């Protein structure tokens, strides 16, 4: 099949897809910490990483190209420009991936936490504390948790923030558990093993947010890598806008993070989709004319 025919065939296939399938993925953040520092905010390659503790290498540091957080403090970064959160329409999604290792493992409900929020007043410096007035009435979003030391099922839980001054740390009673139940077959994490975490927020319809959590790596009693996962649905009072990422472990162990990436799968506006289709048609026509010549 020649190039014009291939291009026209691709165009026909694309236009035949339902609008919800015609998503365009944008990488909002992909921080590999290769620059050896955490202060530069230059998206998508680098975010400024803040800690709820004082600015000290005893609390947070870049070591061997990874972000190392210590002593059970909150770690936070913004992944869009100020005042420009991404808002998920129906059919759109936000995908977070990262690698993490933990120097110590404990068995407690919701002890390792990942938060995706929409900020209000943005924090400008370290030492903001696990509770802060800036969090009150803003920073709506989700806290996806896993019990890394679980020895029974239902290791995963999903919480939605209310008006608490606590962002992601402290008792889970500060948050409203959402979804029909907790879930996921338990896997006991192993100290200092590296795991790949993935959290996907998908707006499946006007009143439903699907939140999928998964972790892949070598767990206790395993000799090869496997995955533990759960999907929990929020059907009430959805949060749909996001610009803030936070991590917290209810333990004083060191956490080593790398390859933190956030991708936004968006549906183009009708005008953009039409322009794309028009460009493909013109390109195909030009190739056909060149072939005739």
pLDDT of 16 reads: 47
**Cα–Cα–Cα angle for 117, 118, 122, nearest 5°?**
105
Q: What values do phi and psi take at 112, rounded to 5? A: -105, 125
| 156 CA to centre of own chain | 16
pLDDT, tens digit, for every residue of 130-166? 888 888 888 999 999 999 999 887 789 999 887 677 8
Cα–Cα distance, 42 to 46 (Å, whole number): 5
Q: What confidence tier does 181 reach under pLDDT thresholds 50, 70, 90?
A: low
DSSP reduced 3-state for 146: strand
Decide if 86 contacts 116 (C-beta within 8 A): no
Given a cut of 60, whether residue 249 has pLDDT beyond it is yes
Beta bridge pairs of residue 25: 265
Q: What values do phi and psi take at 168, rounded to 5? A: -140, -15
The pair of structure tokens assigned to 99 is 């690698």
Q: Which of 199-203, 248-252, 285-289 has the lowest mean pLDDT?
A: 285-289
In this prediction, residues 4-22 reach a mean pLDDT of: 47
Cα radius of gyration rounded to whole Å, the chain: 21
């Amino acid at each position: 099949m020649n190039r014009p025919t291939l291009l026209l065939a691709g165009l026909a296939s694309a236009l035949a897809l339902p609008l919800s399938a015609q998503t365009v993925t944008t990488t909002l953040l992909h921080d590999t910490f290769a620059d050896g520092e955490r202060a530069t905010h230059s998206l998508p390659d680098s975010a400024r990483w803040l800690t709820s503790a004082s600015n000290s290498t005893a609390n947070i540091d870049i070591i061997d190209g990874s972000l190392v957080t210590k002593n059970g403090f909150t770690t936070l970064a913004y992944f869009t420009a100020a005042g420009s959160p991404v808002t998920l329409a129906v059919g759109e999604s936000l995908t977070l991936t990262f690698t993490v290792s933990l120097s110590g493992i404990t068995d407690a409900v919701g002890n390792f936490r990942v938060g995706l929020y929409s900020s209000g007043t943005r924090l400008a410096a370290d030492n903001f504390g696990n509770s802060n007035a800036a969090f009150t009435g803003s920073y709506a979003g989700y806290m996806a948790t896993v019990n890394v030391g679980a020895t029974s099922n239902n290791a995963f839980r999903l919480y939605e923030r209310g008006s608490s001054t606590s962002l992601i740390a402290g008792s889970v009673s500060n948050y409203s558990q959402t979804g029909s139940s907790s879930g996921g077959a338990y896997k006991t994490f192993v100290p200092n093993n590296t795991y790949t975490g993935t959290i996907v927020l998908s707006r499946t319809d006007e009143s439903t947010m699907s939140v999928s959590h998964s972790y892949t790596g070598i767990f206790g009693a395993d000799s090869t890598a496997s995955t533990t996962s759960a999907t929990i649905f929020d059907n009430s009072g959805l949060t749909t806008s996001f610009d803030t990422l936070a991590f917290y472990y209810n333990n004083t162990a060191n956490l080593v993070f790398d390859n933190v990436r956030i991708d936004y799968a968006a549906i183009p506006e009708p005008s953009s989709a039409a322009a794309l289709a028009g460009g493909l048609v013109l390109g195909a026509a030009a190739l056909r004319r060149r072939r005739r010549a």
